[in-house]
Amino acid sequence: MSLITSQKIHINKASSSRINDVDFNNLTFGSVFTDHMFECDFIDGNWQNPTIKPYGPISISPAAKVFHYGQAVFEGMKAYKDDHGKVFLFRPKENLKRINKSSVRMAIPEFPKDVFFEAMHKILELDKDWIKSGLGNSLYIRPFVMATQVGVSASPSNAYKFMILLSPAQAYYTGEVRVVIAQQYSRAADGGVGFAKAAGNYGAQFYPTNLAREKGFQQVIWTDSNEHKYLEEAGTMNVFFRINNTLITAPTNDRILDGITRKSVIAIAEKNNITTEVRKITVSELVNAAKDGSLKEIFGAGTAAVISPVSAFSYEETLYELPKQEPSFASEFKKELMEIQHNLTEDPFNWRYKVL
């Protein structure tokens, strides 16, 4: 269903479009942006001046608190265009719910639902030509919030800027992904902000991921910070394990992101009568399953790649190759998810949200 509000958003249209300068057949993910962006400022206790304006630089003080105390959260979502030119979002209410949950944890004021959806409708209508039809093509949407109060005192900001950027994306293919299981570094700790899409969570991952890449691995499977005993996430994605024909994923907690793709995979698996267990899984259980041949698949689930299969993992300097599966759970889940997103099949879950 669609949600239209009467929230007044000022629109300053770009004088001309840059779309003809873009090679849509050779896009680098997240590096090309559309003609417009949305911004809204939190001042004097209220969100004010919602505006859609031409995409471009913004002016911000070097003393803005975002740079000094890290008050920043974001979301990742996509818009899709079907073969008839209709535009859809995928479970956007979940994205709004999560960015507000992240904001609360970072002492940032929540963003109003009516303004969020009105902004989505209007900016997607303005930049709809940037959304290309075809399975796998999409428009990546990046809402984010940052602290803008000027000052370096260690306290929450009293001013914030909420923005939405749009970036065209192609079908995402990662190739063969090899991962290493973390034994020293952690993504998040108990009582921390691991469940939030806080900017600092991702900055802290880059160093251990770089170390993994130096050894020929693309990503890290993160383990719990207390014992490095339990498997939690893969890179920037939730992670699933298939042992025999059972699908296993870790439960969400204050260390693990409540992924929207993760929830969707679980729902699809249950609809298809695949035995699904949301429970803790240990590194030793995974290694033993790899040794006895019962480990069939590992894959990540997230907005950018949808599903990212893992071909091998390393633990304690031992490499475990995974067998090829035809068909695989990963390929079947990805196909079903993308067909729903692109309006190529029925949507039994009511996940599609029509915009235009």
315-356 confidence digits (pLDDT tens): 999 999 999 998 899 999 999 999 999 999 999 999 999 999
Pair (189, 77) in one structural domain: no
Given a cut of 60, is residue 2 above it in pLDDT?
no
**What pLDDT is attached to residue 7?**
56
Domain annotation covers residue 137: yes
Regarding pTM above 0.85, the answer is yes
Which domain-ending residue is among 115, 140, 171? 171
What number is the average pLDDT over the span 166-188?
A: 88
What number is the average pLDDT over the span 101-106?
A: 98
Pair (199, 104) in one structural domain: no
What total of structural domains would you count in the chain? 2
C-alpha to C-alpha distance for 54 and 32, rounded to whole angstroms: 14
Write down how long the chain is. 356
Greatest Cα-to-Cα distance within the chain, rounded to the nearest angstrom:
63
Residues 137 and 100: beta-carbon distance below 8 Å: no
- Structure tokens given for 167: 């970036």
Given a cut of 60, is residue 52 above it in pLDDT?
yes
Strand-pair partners of 246: 243
Residue 302, domain extent: 177-325
Given a cut of 50, is residue 1 above it in pLDDT?
no
Pair (22, 111) in one structural domain: yes
Pair (214, 296) in one structural domain: yes
Residue 305 binned pLDDT confidence (cut-offs 50, 70, 90): confident
Domain annotation covers residue 53: yes
Residue 173 binned pLDDT confidence (cut-offs 50, 70, 90): low
What is the separation of C-alpha 15 from the centre of its chain, rounded to a whole number of angstroms?
32
Domain annotation covers residue 24: yes
What number is the average pLDDT over the span 270-292?
A: 98
Domain annotation covers residue 342: no
**What pLDDT is attached to residue 5?**
43
C-alpha to C-alpha distance for 204 and 198, rounded to whole angstroms: 11
Given a cut of 80, is residue 53 above it in pLDDT?
yes
C-alpha to C-alpha distance for 76 and 307, rounded to whole angstroms: 15
Pair (57, 100) in one structural domain: yes
